[in-house]
């Protein structure tokens, strides 16, 4: 079975969502289905059909999360000795060589990526260019606007 990298924070967030779905959402949906059944004819009972659709979505999400957690290779970057090398899970400060614009990204698993929170997927072009490099290195990243060069300013194990 192929394993996929995931930060310990990402795994914890998935576990919390799984617990919420199993302990809160699932019983609420079962109750809604029971109440809708009590209204009679199921063919034209919109409440029943909506609850069943929600149940299908919830059960599918539960299976999806369980599958992701079972195939996850959970990496706690804080447990690793700090260094200047860019690896999975670290937070990287980079500076655009041309514009001097500074950016900060954390390299995370595919399911955790959220550009609004400055978390990029380990499989993104930016992360692939950064992985394995050290502070002071200049990396070239292919973007839609062309090749952009960034200098690695800092690597943090947060």
CATH number of the domain enclosing 37 = 1.10.287.180
Same domain, yes or no: 47 and 83 = no
Q: Domain count of the chain?
A: 2
pLDDT exceeds cutoff 70 at 67: yes
Q: Which pLDDT does position 38 carry in this prediction? A: 83
> Length of the chain in residues, anyone?
158
Poorest-confidence range of 33-37, 39-43, 63-67? 39-43
Neighbours of 18 (CB within 10 A): 17
121: domain CATH number is: 3.10.50.30
Domain that includes residue 82, residue range = 77-156
Q: Which residue has the tokens 């999360």?
A: 65
Q: Which pLDDT does position 90 carry in this prediction? A: 95
Q: What is the pTM of this model?
A: 0.80
CA–CA separation, 36 vs 158, rounded Å? Answer: 49
pLDDT exceeds cutoff 90 at 40: no
């Amino acid at each position: 079975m192929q394993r996929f990298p995931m930060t310990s924070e990402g795994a914890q967030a998935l576990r919390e969502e799984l617990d919420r779905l199993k302990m809160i959402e699932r019983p609420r949906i079962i109750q809604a289905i029971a109440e809708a059944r009590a209204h009679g004819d199921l063919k034209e009972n919109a409440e029943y059909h909506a609850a069943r659709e929600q149940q299908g979505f919830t059960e599918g999400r539960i299976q999806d999360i369980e599958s992701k957690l079972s195939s996850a290779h959970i990496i706690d970057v804080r447990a690793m000795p700090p260094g200047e090398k860019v690896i999975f899970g670290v937070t990287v400060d980079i500076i655009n060589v041309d514009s001097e614009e500074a950016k900060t990204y954390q390299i995370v698993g595919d399911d955790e990526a959220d550009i609004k929170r400055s978390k990029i997927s380990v499989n993104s072009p930016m992360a692939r260019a950064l992985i394995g490099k050290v502070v002071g290195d200049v990396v070239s990243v292919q973007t839609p606007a062309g090749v952009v060069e960034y200098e690695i300013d800092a690597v943090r194990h947060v």
